[in-house]
Amino acid sequence: MYKTLKLRFRNWKLKKKLTKQNVLFFEEDLVFKPVNVLLIDEIIPEFNKDSGSRRLSEIIKLLLKNDVGVFLLADKKLYRYNSDYINFYKKLGVIVYEPKIYKGKLLTKEDFIKLISPQLNYAWLHRPKVFKRFSNFIKSSNSKTQVIYDMCDFHYVRLLREYEQNKNEETKIEAERNLISEIESCKAADIIFAITDEDKQKVLEHYDNKDKIKVISNVHQPNEKSSSFNEFSKRSNILFIGNFRHKPNIDAVIYLHEKIMPIIWKSHPEIIVDVVGSYPTDNVKTLHSDNFKIHGFVDDVSSYFNSSRIFFAPLRYGAGIKGKIGQSLEYNLPLVTTDVGAEGFDFGNYSEVLIANNAQELAEKVITLYFDQSLWNSVSDYSKTILEPFSLESIETTLLGTIN
């Protein structure tokens, strides 16, 4: 009861503020196309901070390119509804929901959905909680709207793998709870987007409807090697990148610092690790030292990719495609990772030199790749081949085969 009253009060204050500032909503600002998609995520996608957001931003660009009307909404409380990214998407041509005054009242997210629902062909709901919150409301607003459940990754699998690491019974219970919720969402959806073929196969073990499940993965375009590409001898350091709101990244960095680097430093104390990523937690920040540097969020990461000797992602649990792996390959930067990190990628004959699953073997593969120039060059040149399934053209074909 108290929380409800508190929320109403905050919304009342927001309405008063917007009225005073004359922040008004006009229906004529809604521009519809022959095909229209509403995309809802937990946040306005922060394309330069996490892999899931980057994927959504590339999908939005592909939809706009093909003359699809795109509407964007974040599942945030109205009084917290602000983002540095709203204007970015508006400049692209996306109609982004923002709290405004409409006919003397505060325009809510639900009001916005009702206004656009008669013209809405698809509702793309990203992540399980968003699907659960909005799917029924959207269907009740327009039963003809096709509701898409974008899994992002199979959360059940990620949590089950976490349980296998920490043996925490609460994690196992959470995994089982997520499985029930995710399968219920699969049944309710008109279309399901998995992010890898592996995730699709795992879903099919619990929900056997393969025709409903499509794979829309990350978009990765390899950068052509130019005169600015630093050769092997001009590079140093190990690079890790990850958003630290994502628990597998926290675990990977601690594992790297506590278990793997001591092995590497024993014979090569000069090697430095650069850890880049938004929202570093306190237990990550405390790892900072002269040879294990925690940099936090970096807007333009290209300088790190262009100067590092190798990329390293010792992920012990997770699910779906790992954007950090694709990003490293975009920059033709050789990498070492685990089976979990490599999921969704085909490393071909290089799998044996790039993948390991315990601290000793990971350390050995890092050392080999770090000092073997011939191997480094071969892996770097092969990056483009690994990324072929993730090209704009490949993802666009799948996307337009569904959104039509």
Helices 51-65 and 392-402, packing angle to 10 deg:
70
Assign 325 to helix, strand or coil.
helix
Give CA–CA dist 63/51, Å, rounded: 19
**How far apart, in whole angstroms, are the C-alpha atoms of residue 160 and residue 182?**
14
Nearest-Å Rg of the Cα atoms of the chain is: 23
Determine the Cα–Cα distance for residues 39 and 72; give it in Å rounded to an integer. 5
Reduce the DSSP state of residue 394 to 3 states and report it. Answer: helix
Residue 83 is predicted with a pLDDT of 75
State the pLDDT at residue 181: 94
pLDDT of residue 110: 95
Would you state the pLDDT for residue 332? 96
Q: What is the pLDDT of residues 23-80, one digit of tens each?
A: 899 999 999 999 999 999 999 999 888 888 899 999 999 999 999 999 999 998 776 7
**C-beta of residue 72 within 8 angstroms of C-beta of residue 35:** no
pLDDT of residue 96: 96
Q: How many CB atoms lie within 10 A of CB 285?
A: 12
Q: Tally the C-alpha atoms within 13 A of residue 104's C-alpha that lie toward its C-beta.
A: 0
CB 286 within 8 A of CB 305: no
Residues 158 and 248: beta-carbon distance below 8 Å: yes
pLDDT (0 to 100) of residue 369: 98
User: Quick one: pLDDT at residue 135?
Assistant: 97
Low-confidence ranges of the chain (pLDDT < 70): 1-3, 79
Name the packing angle between helices 128-141 and 169-188 (round to 10°): 30
Beta-carbon contacts of residue 74 (< 8 Å; ≥ 6 apart): 40, 41, 42, 43, 44, 81, 83, 97
What is the separation, in whole angstroms, between the first and last Cα of the chain?
A: 45
Cα 217 from chain centroid (whole Å): 10
d(CA 75, CA 231): 45
Residue whose entry in the numeric block shows the structure tokens 């009342």? 12
Domains of the chain: 9-220+393-402 (3.40.50.2000), 232-386 (3.40.50.2000)
Q: What pLDDT is attached to residue 1?
A: 60
